[in-house]
Structure 1
């Protein structure tokens, strides 16, 4: 009997230590709570790696903490990342969705926990669980790309090759919509003739495209923001077209990564006499291409400002105040209040002023400046 009592006593002691130890673990976990959770699409594109560091820098000197996770091109991983951050006690979620529609369920889970959701750079669509949107003016990006092609058009009947981002990215629609608004009058008057999209040809007299019409064109010319896919599409298009669709040409490329791939393909075709190709993001590799006259222009979106706007908004919310906004975007469910950041066209003539003199990049990062 005494032996049984001793065993019971020992078990009680062990249980007490377990409870105390668990309590210690729980308080440690609680003390490591994160204020702002940030989810970015992938580490495989230079743009998002740059953003990661700038987010870290933006929160220095404040009392708040952050954790940054990457979704690596997977909406499932993105949702898992959001759940991880929810469990860490975040008060604000800054998320750039891999897929605007697919991200809805992830942010809805955050919203249920009382977390303020900031859609960053790309809009999360078809949900009312988005509080704010911090973005560059995406229509202005497309318009700037298109205007550069118009300003550098050679005569009439110049072949125009159209490319777009991913059909899953709402920004891709806005970029293309902005570009089409500028290009369409010049297609209608014969300055350009569309080389690689039957859907665009069918709509060449339509100034304002519906979402469905945009979708049909983008479905034919999407690059999925993938350099290899852009390369393959460009090769396919140049192989398929007749001789009158070569010579001096204009190319609407959606971003820098795809622009370099497309430019390399066009440069390797002996029937292409010259080409003007657009880009965006001011990636280092594309700035070197611009200096070397391999890429014509890029739309510079100063990520320092975008990050500052997003993190400034997060800190304002954490301080219990209401952030300032400058417009709104309809995401298919609600009008999301937005803070917009201006964009700048950069080419060989002003690259020094806009990117080097502004300390965005160092002159030593490039050759031939």
Structure 2
């Protein structure tokens, strides 16, 4: 395990954090009062303003990562910490350089959402050498012992939820999980995320385990024959890449008058590219668009769901994820171990990383109001416009 701050090191900022008298525990009402630092309230002998937390996010091309970075920064700054937030523009060398700089400039904790989960080994070793705790944020960092904690959602269950949403869209299941009235067979195509993102494998595994009985019985048929993650992956989760692949699938596998009747998509950005390809091929004109799943409840896709174009998305409340990152950061700063609710699942190839996993919600048109608007995640005006204010 990576060195834990305070073990055998001289008096430092982190050691002093454990000596004062101000309780810093943060609880999550949405999680029944439990959290990564639940029960670990601590105290500080040095002002939070003297402590810096480096936050490395992968890109600003996705609404989701912009929201994550903003939420983490705001929540940390609200507690008085200095925050060094950097976006890497989907460029691995840029992220490596930014993390190097955070370490050099004296970050006390690092929160990292990696572009490539295997590309930061030297940076993590440098952090460990300086006894800087590393929290992997939503994307597991692989092949390193120097990952101290992981905050995320239950990514296997995200895949299960996406597969079930596809089955609901096809009428094979109802939204409550009971059997639907449709019988099939249905022609479907499969998409996955970027192979260098550990989450993509969990999403796809959960989805395929759920769809397997339907594929085995030929209730679902993948006309292209592309059912392995290596065949359906989308590098860097790029919308344009997904659109091009969907166009190629329609040209090569559906040039005989048959139609694709459903698409498993793991992310809203890919979903929009897939939908554009379908629309350009005449789908949705005079008939319903085939069900296309998604993830992240991006506002452009929520509008599409509200308009009956995209069928569903998986809502991962990043506000709660940001809170868990803050809780874990404070636990480390207080010389304590963050509380995990999963210590078995996330093996990064070198160690099982203690994790705190949050639940997810499937959003259809019928529950946009309840899950996204009433919760304050989006406003009704934003949903109608398909644009964040």
Which of the five TM-score ranges fits, normalised by the shorter chain? 0.7 to 0.9
Measure how far apart 1:336 and its partner are.
0.3
Does the alignment pair 1:35 with 2:52? yes
Aligned counterpart, 2:42: none
Does the alignment pair 1:50 with 2:78? no
- Structure of greater relative contact order (alpha carbons < 8 Å, 6+ residues apart): 2
Matches of residues 16-95 of structure 1 in structure 2 within 5 Å? Answer: 34-95=51-112
Aligned counterpart, 1:228: 240
Measure how far apart 1:359 and its partner are.
0.6
SS at match of 1:364: helix
Measure how far apart 1:94 and its partner are.
0.4
Does the alignment pair 1:194 with 2:222? yes
SS at match of 1:118: strand
Preserved contact between residue 150 and residue 186 of structure 1 (Cα < 8 Å): no
Higher deviation after alignment, 35-44 or 152-161:
152-161
User: Quick one: structure 1 residues 157 and 112, their matched pair in 2 at CA, closer, same or farther if it must change by over 3 Å?
Assistant: same
Aligned counterpart, 2:195: 167
- What CA distance in whole angstroms lies between the structure 1 residues aligned with 2:350 and 2:93? 22
Aligned counterpart, 2:15: none
**RMSD in angstroms over aligned alpha carbons?**
2.0
Preserved contact between residue 291 and residue 368 of structure 1 (Cα < 8 Å): no
1:267 corresponds, among 276, 279, 282, to 279
Aligned counterpart, 2:123: 106
* Offset from partner CA, 1:144-184 (integer Å, 9 cap, x none): 00011123334222111000100111111110001001001
Higher deviation after alignment, 358-367 or 298-307:
358-367
Matches of residues 161-310 of structure 1 in structure 2 within 5 Å? Answer: 161-198=189-226, 200=227, 217-224=228-235, 225-242=237-254, 246-247=258-259, 249-270=261-282, 274-310=289-325
User: Quick one: structure 1 residues 309 and 316, their matched pair in 2 at CA, closer, same or farther if it must change by over 3 Å?
Assistant: same
Query: Looking at CA atoms only, which structure, 1 or 2, has the larger radius of gyration?
Result: 1
Does the alignment pair 1:311 with 2:326? yes
Preserved contact between residue 33 and residue 88 of structure 1 (Cα < 8 Å): no
| Equivalenced residues, count | 322
Preserved contact between residue 297 and residue 345 of structure 1 (Cα < 8 Å): yes
* Offset from partner CA, 1:256-308 (integer Å, 9 cap, x none): 00101101212332377641100000001001111111110000000000000
Compare the two structures and name the one with the higher helix fraction: 1
* TM-score normalised to structure 2 length: 0.79
Q: Which runs of 5+ in 2 are unaligned?
A: 1-47, 171-181
Preserved contact between residue 315 and residue 363 of structure 2 (Cα < 8 Å): yes
Preserved contact between residue 303 and residue 383 of structure 2 (Cα < 8 Å): yes
- What CA distance in whole angstroms lies between the structure 1 residues aligned with 2:140 and 2:197? 8
Compare the two structures and name the one with the higher strand fraction: 1
- What CA distance in whole angstroms lies between the structure 1 residues aligned with 2:258 and 2:283? 6
Measure how far apart 1:104 and its partner are.
2.5
User: Quick one: structure 1 residues 231 and 139, their matched pair in 2 at CA, closer, same or farther if it must change by over 3 Å?
Assistant: same
SS at match of 1:119: strand
* TM-score normalised to structure 1 length: 0.83
Q: Which runs of 5+ in 1 are unaligned?
A: 1-30, 201-216
